[in-house]
Amino acid sequence: MTTTCSAPGKIYLFGEHAVVYGEPAIACAVELRTRVIAKKSNEITISSDIGTTKLDFDMHPYVSSAIRKLGSPDVFIEITSEIPVGSGLGSSAAVTIATLSAINIEFGLGYEKEELAKMGHEIEKEVQGAASPTDTFVSTFGGVVEIPSRKRLNLLDCDVVIGNTNKGASPKKTAKLVQQVARLKEEHPDIINPIIKTIGSFAKQGELMVSQKNYTSLGKLMNVNHGLLDALGVSTMELSALVYAARNAGAYGAKLTGAGGGGCMVALSDSPREVAEAIEKAGGRAIITRATPEGVIQI
Ligand code: MEV
């Protein structure tokens, strides 16, 4: 038997960084997926774009940790992905969840999705040192989700355009940026704490706008959220250039997504081609995608 599972990446509509301090956020699974094939074998093999290894915690840290978490069964794993790696779109969560899920089914281990999401979060923490459960939760269950309540909101009806700066994002960078914000917060609590609270308040307002499909207002709030992330020092010139290009091309709104410092921005739009073209002209790599209700699935 062979089992293939796929799990989605995600964007943040609101709330990255503030979510680290317990503020609410809204994340959204997108139709960019990582596929993992698992097949019983007589040894452990992991094959991906970057090479073929045995358990290898340097080259394949997430997949190796997922195999170990499930008792190190002899399995052949093959990974293919549409999610740019280490760019704030949850690529590591998607490969972790798809691997856990494919091995779970292939070996009949009987874990529930909730348990796989929890294991996925533990693996991200082991590999990265720190991680919020957002990425692994959204990759497991899909949809538009408020964090930490896990409330499922309406799916977005408009297109999602992602702009990749192709620069500088990685799990290590995430940890560095989270620390950088923590330092700023310690140095200037009176100024930074209200900014973090305000970022948290977007999720409540945004929830209403998502349910009313009021993308004009949702986009305006995304723009304000980007301004506040810039104030926290996590945007870059390249990210902001793509954000402005998307807005000028008629997007409802645009902001960086994930930890920042490079990586990706996201725009909502009903004219995705124009927005994608503007992003490419401004030096980014554009991807047109949609929100997806589907988390990890067997295919
Ligand atoms: C990174 O994708 C989002 C941050 O809020 C960190 C986290 O939530 O783990 C910056």
What string of DSSP letters covers 121-151?
Answer: HHHHHHHHS---THHHHHHHH-SEEEETTTE
Judged by DSSP in three states, 250 sits in: coil
CATH code of 39's domain: 3.30.230.10
Same domain membership, residue 169 and residue 114: no
Examine residue 296 and state whether it is found in any structural domain, yes or no. Answer: no
| CB distance 258 to ligand 1 below 6 Å | yes
Judged by DSSP in three states, 109 sits in: coil
| Active site members | 135
Which of the listed residues 120, 153, 186 is the one where a domain comes to its end? Answer: 153
CA neighbor of 156 nearest in space, from 16, 289, 20, 5: 289
Cα(131) to ligand 1 centroid in Å equals: 7
Same domain membership, residue 7 and residue 143: yes
Q: What atom in ligand 1 is closest to the CA of residue 90? A: 2
Which of the listed residues 153, 180, 197 is the one where a domain comes to its end? Answer: 153
Residue span of the structural domain in which 96 resides: 2-153
Q: What atom in ligand 1 is closest to the CA of residue 132? A: 9
Examine residue 298 and state whether it is found in any structural domain, yes or no. Answer: no
Residue nearest to atom 7 of ligand 1 (CA): 132
Which of the listed residues 153, 177, 206 is the one where a domain comes to its end? Answer: 153
Same domain membership, residue 133 and residue 27: yes
CA neighbor of 11 nearest in space, from 184, 217, 187, 156: 156
Tokens 């990749």 belong to residue: 164
Examine residue 294 and state whether it is found in any structural domain, yes or no. Answer: no
| pTM exceeds 0.85, yes or no | yes
Beta strand residue intervals within the chain, DSSP E: 2-14, 25-40, 45-48, 51-53, 75-81, 144-147, 151-153, 159-164, 253-257, 264-269, 285-289, 297-298
User: How does pLDDT run along the chain (299 residues), one tens digit per residue?
Assistant: 899 999 999 999 999 999 999 999 999 999 999 999 999 999 999 999 999 999 999 999 999 999 999 999 999 999 999 999 888 899 999 999 999 999 999 999 999 999 999 999 999 999 987 778 899 999 999 999 999 999 999 999 999 999 999 987 676 788 889 999 999 999 999 999 999 999 999 999 999 999 999 999 999 999 999 999 999 999 999 999 999 999 999 999 999 999 999 999 999 999 999 999 999 999 999 999 999 999 999 99
Ligand 1, pocket-test mutation among 20, 146, 226, most atoms within 8 A of CB: 20
210 sits in the region (left: phi over 0; alpha: psi -120 to 50; else beta) called alpha
Query: Are the beta carbons of 251 and 276 closer than 8 angstroms?
Result: no
pLDDT at position 57 is 96
pLDDT at position 34 is 98
Same domain membership, residue 225 and residue 113: no
Tokens 């009021």 belong to residue: 214
CATH code of 232's domain: 3.30.70.890
Examine residue 74 and state whether it is found in any structural domain, yes or no. Answer: yes
Write out the H or E segment, with its range, that includes residue 262: none
- In 3-state terms the chain splits into helix, strand, coil percentages (rounded to 5) of 45, 25, 30
Same domain membership, residue 176 and residue 131: no
Same domain membership, residue 218 and residue 77: no
Cβ–Cβ contacts within 10 Å for residue 214, how many? 14
Q: What atom in ligand 1 is closest to the CA of residue 17? A: 5
Question: Which residues contact residue 57 at a Cβ distance below 8 angstroms, ignoring those fewer than 6 apart?
Answer: 64, 65
Q: What atom in ligand 1 is closest to the CA of residue 178? A: 10
Same domain membership, residue 112 and residue 19: yes
Same domain membership, residue 146 and residue 8: yes
Examine residue 245 and state whether it is found in any structural domain, yes or no. Answer: yes
Examine residue 60 and state whether it is found in any structural domain, yes or no. Answer: yes
Cα(39) to ligand 1 centroid in Å equals: 33
> Number of structural domains, the chain?
2
| CB distance 20 to ligand 1 below 6 Å | yes
Examine residue 295 and state whether it is found in any structural domain, yes or no. Answer: no
| Dihedral sign, Cα of residue 3, residue 299, residue 110, residue 53 | positive
Cα(2) to ligand 1 centroid in Å equals: 34
Same domain membership, residue 126 and residue 13: yes
| CB distance 134 to ligand 1 below 6 Å | yes
Ligand 1, pocket-test mutation among 13, 14, 17, 145, most atoms within 8 A of CB: 17
Same domain membership, residue 166 and residue 147: no
Same domain membership, residue 98 and residue 19: yes
Examine residue 299 and state whether it is found in any structural domain, yes or no. Answer: no
Q: Tell me, what amino acid is at 172? A: K
Same domain membership, residue 274 and residue 216: yes
| CB distance 261 to ligand 1 below 6 Å | no
Cα(69) to ligand 1 centroid in Å equals: 23
Cα(174) to ligand 1 centroid in Å equals: 7
